[in-house]
Structure 1
Amino acid sequence: MFSLTVADHIMVAHSFRGAEFGPAQRVHGATFVVEAEFRAPALDPLHLLVDIAAARTELRRVLDTLDYRNLDAEPVFAGKNTTTEYLAFHIHGLLCAALREGRLGEGGRRVTALKVLLRESPLAWAAFEGPVAEPTEVAA
């Protein structure tokens, strides 16, 4: 399996519901380094998996929907705790839609799996990985 990874970052504000989150129940900021790893079993005739520039552009487009926002105020996250794990899942879904819609070119149509990793610090990160398939939802 071949892979190609691009990265960018976002800064968000959010809060969590539930006593288990302690002080994170209050609005706080988070900065995430976001990595998107595209995977495919074969390369194209030019020996590319997907165009790096296209992958970086699409990752930035997806991240622009989150960057510098209070996620508590975003309708798409109503009733959800925007944990690092959940944000990885959400970004995965948006990038998979971009792949299926051809926004990463023909190479993107050959991508079979995607891993999205969010680094919250050098010591902690979370990821979601799965096939480039129709969207699914996690438990509320």
Structure 2
Amino acid sequence: MFSITVRDHIMIAHSLRGEVFGPAQKLHGATFLVDATFRRAELDADSIVVDIGLATRELGEVVAGLTYRNLDEEPELAGVNTSTEALARIIADRLAERVHAGKLGEGARELAAIQVTLHESHVAWASYERAL
């Protein structure tokens, strides 16, 4: 399996529901380093996984829709406990929509999977991988 990874970051505010989150149940800010990894079994006719420039642009647009926002107030996230794991899935799903819409080029339609990793710090991160 071949892969490429592009990187961006988000800065959000949110609160988390559940005793397990302790003080994070209150509104707080978080900054995440975001890695999006695109996978495919064989390289395309240009010997690439996907155009890195397009992948970078589309990841930037996806995270721009979340950054500097209080996620508790976003209608499309109503009822979602926006844990690191859940945010990784949201970003992966939004990238998948862009792949299916052709925004990463026609060759991207042959991608096998996308994995999104959110780094909370240098010692903790969470990932979500989905098939395409």
The TM-score bracket by the shorter chain reads over 0.9
Partner of 1:135: none
Partner of 2:65: 65
1:106, distance to aligned residue in structure 2 (A): 1.4
Partner of 1:8: 8
Cα distance between partner residues in 2 of 1:128 and 1:89: 5
Partner of 1:53: 53
2:99 match: secondary structure = helix
1:48 match: secondary structure = coil
Partner of 2:124: 124
User: Which amino acid in the other structure matches residue 38 of structure 1?
Assistant: F
Structure 1 stretches lacking a partner, 5+ long: 133-140
Query: Segments of 4+ in structure 1 off by > 4 A?
Result: none
1:46, distance to aligned residue in structure 2 (A): 1.6
Partner of 2:82: 82
Alpha-carbon deviations, 1:55-111, whole Å to 9, x = none?
000000100110110000001111111000000011110011111111000121111
- Aligned residues: CA RMSD: 0.7
1:121 match: secondary structure = coil
Cα distance between partner residues in 1 of 2:34 and 2:107: 21
TM-score (norm 2): 0.97
1:24 match: secondary structure = helix
Partner of 1:95: 95
Calculate percent identity across the aligned residue pairs. Answer: 53
1:8, distance to aligned residue in structure 2 (A): 0.3
1:19, distance to aligned residue in structure 2 (A): 1.9
1:48, distance to aligned residue in structure 2 (A): 1.2
Structure 2 stretches lacking a partner, 5+ long: none
Instruction: State the number of aligned residues.
Output: 132
TM-score (norm 1): 0.92
Cα distance between partner residues in 1 of 2:60 and 2:127: 18
1:9 match: secondary structure = strand
